[in-house]
Amino acid sequence: MVYRKTAAISMSVVMCMLVMAGCSTSKEAGQAGTEKPATATSGSGGEVKALKDLKITRLYHGVMEQFKGSDTMNNNKIINKLRENSGFNIQYESLPNENPSQKTSIIFASGDVPDLIMVNGKSDYFKLAKQGALEPLDDLIAKQIPNLSTMASKESLDALRYEGKVYAIPYRNALKVGNGLIERADILKELNLNAPTTIDEFYSTMKTIKEKKNITPLTMATSSAGSFFDGFFPFSAAFGVSTPTVIKDGKLKFSWVQPEYKEFITTLKKWYDEGLLDPEFAVNKDSKDKLINGTAVFNTLYFSSGIDVDKALQEKKNGGSVQFIAPPVGKNGQSGIQDASISTQYVVVPKQAKNKLGAAQYLNFLYKPETDILINYGIKGEDYTEANGVYTQTKEQSDKISWRSMYGLGDTDFGIDARLKAKSLLPYYEPQLKFKKSREETNFAPSIEAYDTKFTELRNYVEENSMKFIMGKRDLSEFDKFTQEFDAKGGKTAIDALNEWFTKK
């Protein structure tokens, strides 16, 4: 589930940083690096040409910790090949892992800005756009970044418009699958049961498992904020309430206060009361062990966790196996899994950047298929082989340049396939691609303060009360009272603000 985060930066800090205009972070010089300030250049005909020096600041990525030996972020064979092929003397820097929003504000306030910088979240992006800190990109996109069409849809760009102009490029997330519904396939086979396809079948299958194995069929780990909705997503989707909002009568409404949500919670309570749902679901921090030990049959896990469970079962040598299955279908034919492809990070060009033209041209270079191959596989003959369009890379070859993907400023299907293949994760990812993905309309909305600032509080309130309803700590007869409390906590104000946008788009 994609949830927005907002970060409030003290105005006094920003004003202080404006005075400290000389501040900048130190950077390591690359093999082709230079510390000489860049200046504008013109061609013989007077046309403006891009500068050669190009500074890029990106969000922290864990692979940055994986450089070994003499390799560094700005001196290794991949970045040197990027310099050679692009013609730009690129220098990468990273925002801190903790509180990148604050560092971003400091950079913009100092005036010493990079040519490209990644911004985390719509709230930060729109704040900068409103402050006039960003370069409008419409003209640069039209003239300099034709390859962007493979990375960003018109809808995703339109969602970033401020006063009619685009000031950011969404960092494309090519990963389409997040959490999925997983089963102990061997136990179902032992009981001569098929994977359930509907909510009713799911219930009857769990009843059979409970009777024949005397175990709790469905486990979940929902102790952390947001994990309730993530975990039960395949089931709430069957009731049409898996996303925060739904469309009814041409308007957005919070799904959590709809009659269908009460029906969903009522179903989970029935499962809980009959011993079909793990009584510890609300306090579990991890539920993989129950799948591995055979004390549960169904669970919702992130797709990459499937291989961990499989390896643990293989070590037991008891014939255990798991597989991801389709989310169950509800009575109205509804079903779905999470859409993991929504962009929550953005690439922007600061208004004060020295090399705006170069920034656009470098982005276009990054979005070329040839560059995509370099960033995801490395150098042909050294890091991989290719024959008839088939790329072969051993795990050892991939691990030696595990940091390579940090140089991309947007992901591709080709890149995701390469990395998942190297980690043997495709068997857990590809089967889920065919399942319907639930769409959340607010992912395509601009930053709306009344919604953004209240969302986390509202979500947490709904999670807390949903679990109370399921476990009998609050009676379901109070559901109407719960919806009134939700509205009073800001739910009505938030949805009204959303509809100001939605009904006019």
Retrieve residue 358's tokens: 């170069």
**pTM for the structure as a whole:** 0.84
Q: How far apart are CA 430 and CA 327, in angstroms?
A: 15
Note whether 328 and 336 are within 8 A (CB): no
DSSP string, 153-178: -HHHHHTTEETTEE--EE------B-
Give every residue of the chain whose pLDDT is below 70, as ranges: 1-47
Q: CA-based diameter of the chain, in Å?
A: 84
CA 226 to chain centre: 14
Token pair recorded at residue 382:
């050294």
Q: CA-to-CA distance for 25 and 55, rounded, in angstroms?
A: 12
Q: Domains in the chain, start-ordered, CATH in brackets?
A: 11-15+50-175+343-411 (3.40.190.10), 179-338+434-502 (3.40.190.10)
Alpha carbon distance 456, 453 (integer Å): 7
Q: Which among 263, 239, 258, 254 is positioned nearest to 441, based on CA atoms?
A: 254
Q: Which amino acid is at 393?
A: Q
Q: CB atoms < 10 A from the CB of 76, how many?
A: 21
DSSP assignment of 370-432: HHHHHHHH-SBTTTBEEETTEEE--HHHHHHTTTGGGG-SS--HHHHHHHHHHTT-HHHHGGG
Dist CA 56 CA 33 (whole Å): 13
Sign of CA dihedral 242, 156, 305, 412: positive
User: Do the beta carbons of residue 384 and residue 392 sit within 8 Å?
Assistant: yes
DSSP code of residue 56: E
| Nearest in space to 209 (alpha carbons), one of 278, 286, 284, 312 | 278
pLDDT at res. 3: 41
Task: Say which amino acid occupies 484.
Answer: Q
Q: How far apart are CA 225 and CA 246, in angstroms?
A: 21
Q: Which residues contact 250 (CB under 8 A, 6 or more apart)?
A: 503
What is the Cα–Cα distance from 106 to 20, expressed in whole angstroms?
Answer: 10
Do 374 and 85 meet the contact criterion of CB atoms below 8 Å apart?
yes
- 65-114 per-position pLDDT tens digit: 999 999 999 999 999 999 999 999 999 999 999 999 999 999 999 999 99
Name the residue with tokens 């306090």: 283
| pLDDT the model gives residue 318 | 87
Residue among 384, 341, 374 nearest 155 (CA): 341
- Do 120 and 345 touch, CB atoms closer than 8 A? yes
Q: Would you call 152 helix, strand, or coil by DSSP?
A: coil
Tokens of 141: 């996109």
Strands 390-392 and 385-387: antiparallel
CA dist 299 to 52, 136, 205, 460, Å? 52, 46, 14, 22
Contacts of 434 (CB under 8 A, 6+ apart): none
The 3-state DSSP class for residue 180 equals: strand
Q: With contact defined as beta carbons under 8 Å apart, do 30 and 74 qualify? A: yes
